[in-house]
Structures are given as structure tokens and as C-alpha cells.
């Protein structure tokens, strides 16, 4: 796995910040209805989906693609079928905001859009909007139903939006907007979407995927359907 280092190449970066696929460390709220191995497989399927969809979104744009994983488990990247364009780096230390700020700085401090793996079926127009937001002043944020966000995009680092946030709580989105207000940073909402944390969220995702014909989402649906069949007693 590569270490974080400065780069002057791409005109912007799409950064996927994710946990590696390690049973027991990912999707803990799915464990119960699913085993730890099955919950990890859900995470792997969603992470693989987001990797492929983001790669498709920046084809021929000149933007770089960075997968930021926890360095203590970097070997877990081998569980993924990484498209060739992706570079894998360590997230670095600190809370989520500190890690995002560190990644941003070490990638050169230019345009960036950050994503997670919990919203694999965000509509393509919303993904394109997040990529386009890197060229606009201010920042753009994609709220999620649980009070967080699925993307944060800006033309340069916005440290005021990454500190003093109660990460992992329903307050993240509103605290980020309040931080933008205090800092005089113009912030634009992108599409709201649902993420996947609980078993109910997972079933809602499976229902949303039923009518999808995008090949990457069809593969995700097939993988989740297979897992559902195999996990039934």
C-alpha cells in the first residue's frame, strides 16, 4: 500500500474514505440478522460498487481516484477488484475530519470530493454534480437521511467544515452547515440520499435496486440477493 504523498498530477481528486473489509470491524449494526462474515460481505459489495461507479464518473476527466483505507489493515485491499485507475493510501491518524484534512493536504490541497461506501446507489446525476462541484467556489454537501452526508466537495480544503463535528452522529450535516455559516463559506446541498447502516436500511437498498438497469448496480443487486438466499436458515 502506498503512503500519502504530495502529487501535482490530476486536476482534482475523488477520495473514497472507507474501512477495509474485515469481519467484525465493518457494518456492526448488521450483525445479529447477519453474521460478522456476512456483514463484511455487504460492506465489500457496496465498496466495490462505489469504486466502479466513481471510476466511471471521472473517465477522461483528468481527475485522480484515491481509496483511503485504515493503514493498520491495508492488506484488506486485496479483497477488492480495484479498477486500474485507483491509488490506495493510508487514511492517517485522527478522527474523520482530521483524516480528511490530512488526506486533502497531502494530495496537494486542490479540488477534491470525498465519498463513503454506505450510499452505493446515489443517482448518477448526483455523482456528476459532486464532481462538478469541485470547480465551484464554496463547498457542496450531499445529505443523508441519518443526519450525515454522502459527499463533501470543494475546490480546495475547507478545514472549518472538518473540525468540531460530532462524527458518526445524526448532527453531522447540521453541524457542518452551521460551521459553514460561522466561517462565511457558501455551501450548496446536493441530492439527499439514504445510506446503509441497519438491516432495515439494507432491505430498503435491495428494494431500490429492483428496478435498476445500470450494470454496476445490477451486479450489486445480484450479490446482495445471493447473500440473502445464503443467510436464510
Q: Contact 88/71 with Cβ under 8 angstroms?
A: no
φ/ψ (deg, to 5) at 13: -135, 135
3 state DSSP class of 60:
coil
Q: What is the pLDDT of residue 11?
A: 83
Q: What is the pLDDT of residue 78?
A: 66
Q: What is the pLDDT of residue 58?
A: 85
Give the pLDDT confidence of 150-187 residue by residue, as tens digits: 999 999 999 999 999 999 999 999 999 999 999 999 99
Q: What is the pLDDT of residue 232?
A: 65
For the chain, the structural domain boundaries read 13-228
Task: Give dist(CA 43, CA 22) in Å, integer.
Answer: 9
Rounded to 10°, the helix 215-231/199-209 angle is 130
H helices within the chain, ranges in order?
Answer: 36-57, 96-106, 124-133, 172-183, 199-209, 215-231
Closest CA to 39 of 228, 229, 233: 228
Q: Which regions of the chain are under pLDDT 70?
A: 1-10, 71-78, 232-233
Q: What is the pLDDT of residue 52?
A: 94
Q: What is the pLDDT of residue 3?
A: 39
Q: What is the pLDDT of residue 7?
A: 41
Q: Contact 18/69 with Cβ under 8 angstroms?
A: yes
Task: Give dist(CA 6, CA 30) in Å, integer.
Answer: 37
- In this prediction the pTM is 0.91
CATH of segment(s) 13-228: 3.90.550.10
Give the pLDDT confidence of 136-147 residue by residue, as tens digits: 999 999 999 999
Amino acid at each position: 500500500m502506498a503512503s500519502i504523498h504530495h502529487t501535482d498530477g490530476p486536476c482534482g481528486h475523488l477520495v473514497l474514505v472507507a474501512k477495509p473489509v474485515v469481519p467484525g470491524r465493518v457494518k456492526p449494526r448488521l450483525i445479529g440478522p447477519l453474521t460478522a462474515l456476512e456483514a463484511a460481505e455487504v460492506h465489500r459489495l457496496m465498496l466495490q460498487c462505489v469504486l466502479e461507479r466513481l471510476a466511471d464518473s471521472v473517465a477522461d476527466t483528468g481527475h485522480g481516484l484515491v481509496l483511503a483505507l485504515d493503514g493498520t489493515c491495508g492488506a484488506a485491499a486485496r479483497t477488492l477488484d480495484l479498477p486500474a485507475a485507483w491509488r490506495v493510501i493510508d487514511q492517517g491518524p485522527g478522527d474523520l475530519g482530521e483524516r480528511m484534512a490530512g488526506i486533502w493536504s497531502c494530495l496537494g490541497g486542490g479540488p477534491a470530493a470525498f465519498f463513503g461506501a454506505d450510499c452505493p446507489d446515489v443517482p448518477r446525476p448526483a455523482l456528476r454534480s459532486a464532481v462538478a462541484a469541485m470547480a465551484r467556489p464554496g463547498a457542496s454537501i450531499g445529505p443523508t437521511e441519518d443526519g450525515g452526508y454522502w459527499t463533501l466537495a470543494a475546490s480546495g480544503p475547507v478545514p472549518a467544515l472538518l473540525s468540531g463535528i460530532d462524527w458518526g452522529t445524526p448532527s453531522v450535516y447540521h453541524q457542518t452547515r452551521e460551521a459553514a455559516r460561522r466561517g462565511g463559506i457558501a455551501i450548496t446541498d446536493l441530492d439527499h440520499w439514504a445510506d446503509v447502516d441497519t438491516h432495515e436500511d439494507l432491505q430498503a437498498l435491495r428494494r431500490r435496486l429492483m428496478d435498476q438497469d445500470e450494470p454496476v448496480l445490477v451486479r450489486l443487486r445480484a450479490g446482495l440477493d445471493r447473500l440473502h438466499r445464503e443467510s436464510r436458515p
